[in-house]
Amino acid sequence: MTDTARLLGDARDQIDFFRRSLRADGGFDVLGWDGTSIPGVAQELHGTTRLVHSFALGHALGLPGCTDIIDAGMDFLWNHHRDARHGGYAWSVPRDGAPGDTTKLAYGHVFVLLAASSARAAGHPDAARLHADICEVIDRHFWDPDHRLLRDEFAADWTPFSTYRGMNANMHGAEAFLAAFEATGERAFLDRAGAILDFFIGQVAPSHGWRLPEHYTADWQVDPDYAGNPMFRPAGTTPGHSFEMARLQLQHWDLSGRPDTGAPDRARALVDRALADAWASDGGIVYTLDAKGRPAIRDRYWWPVTEAIGAIASLRKLGPDPALMAWEARLRAFAEAHFIDKARGGWFPEIDAQGKPVERQFHGKPDIYHALQACLIPAVPGLSRLIDGVRGLR
């Protein structure tokens, strides 16, 4: 079996597994390791949107039944997450006794833009409506035209309740703006993605040893003392995000016509630093680092491995590089040995010190998005327009 055939086989297994997320009422379940639903979990915005995006990729690959998930997700976004009174999209919708959360987060809203853009590329009839609505919300509330970056969080009625600024929402904002440019051709989206990438990769990373601090003040100064939610806003730096940002830098550079700006060198610097800092002696990538690049939270999750695979595969497409090829093979072998569930499909989200799947931070298999892209990005020849590239694999 060729490498591409193995990657596409894993992608198909993931799509088959996560089809079971769809409920009879049109919502989505979080799935346990065996594919049965986990009760009492509110439906979160990033879960809904990532399923739409991922099944748009499955649809592009020609896999059957993907439109059911896309249709359900688009309906749920418009009729349940969307706040018809105040505008915007609630972080989570209550269900089965689990309370919802009406907070308006940039992190969630940019995933709505990603879902709308991917659904638009897939030809969904409601994609233009969702796309127009989310763009208006982002323009009005989240996009800061002075700094050319995204603000982070508001209450349901758009009252600011913090001055926190973060890289994570902006990184996924760059991802969504690039997808929006690919879907519409509107240059403003490409320019916004470029502004975000220029700030973090062009300004912040070189002055911090090619590491990317996660947290900032309202005037976009690094906040080294911030420590929030240990999963979503941990202190220090998150090497998995360096891999993501490197891949997005290459995608933006490709869409911009591959100008002579040094973008591939910056992407390589991010990847090399993250690998040197975070690859554990027994394999896997530690979750967080302190300001000096020393491991802080040593837990090993699936998504940094997937993002390292995507970033290294993207760099490898620029020309033969034995070191990159060795890293890509090493990462994929580690994933196959520890994260990929070959019997049932999907990836286990975390492993213990012995390399065995464990449920501590995550319950079940909460997400397809990272692992699916780790299969499809290496399989396509290009650095951008992933949906178009996936269509070419059919």
Task: List b or e across 276-294, with b for residues whose CB sees 16 or more CB atoms inside 10 angstroms.
Answer: ebbbeeebbbbbbbeeebe
pLDDT digits (tens, 9 = 90+) for 251-274: 999 999 999 999 999 999 999 999
Contact 390, 380 (CB under 8 A): yes
Give the mean model confidence (pLDDT) for residues 13-17.
Answer: 98
pLDDT for 230 equals: 85
pLDDT at 232 over 90: no
Provide the token pair at 82. 């969307």
pLDDT digits (tens, 9 = 90+) for 183-199: 999 999 999 999 999 99
Least confident of 12-16, 50-54, 224-228: 224-228
Q: In whole angstroms, what is the distance from residue 326 CA to residue 328 CA?
A: 5
Q: In whole angstroms, what is the distance from residue 336 CA to residue 145 CA?
A: 44
pLDDT digits (tens, 9 = 90+) for 354-375: 999 999 999 999 999 999 999 9
Report helix, strand or coil for 321: coil
Q: In whole angstroms, what is the distance from residue 216 CA to residue 16 CA?
A: 40
DSSP 8-state assignment for residue 205 = G
Give me the active site residues, please.
241, 370
Q: How many domains does the chain have?
A: 1
Contact 29, 41 (CB under 8 A): yes
Output the domain CATH number for residue 80. 1.50.10.10
Give the mean model confidence (pLDDT) for residues 336-340.
Answer: 98
> Which residue is it, tokens 């973090």?
200
Compute the Cα dihedral for 239, 241, 243, 246 and give only its sign. negative
CA 309 to chain centre: 13
| Boundaries of domain holding 50 | 3-391
pLDDT band at 69 (very low <50, low <70, confident <90, very high): very high
Of all residues in the chain, the percent with pLDDT exceeding 90 is 98
pLDDT digits (tens, 9 = 90+) for 96-151: 889 999 999 999 999 999 999 999 999 999 999 999 999 999 999 999 999 999 99
Q: Which of 390, 383, 239, 393 is nearest to 313 (CA)?
A: 383
pLDDT for 192 equals: 98
Q: In whole angstroms, what is the distance from residue 134 CA to residue 373 CA?
A: 24
**CA atoms within 13 A of residue 59's CA, in its CB half-sphere:** 20
List C-alpha distances in Å: 329 to 112, 150, 316, 325, 336: 33, 36, 12, 6, 10
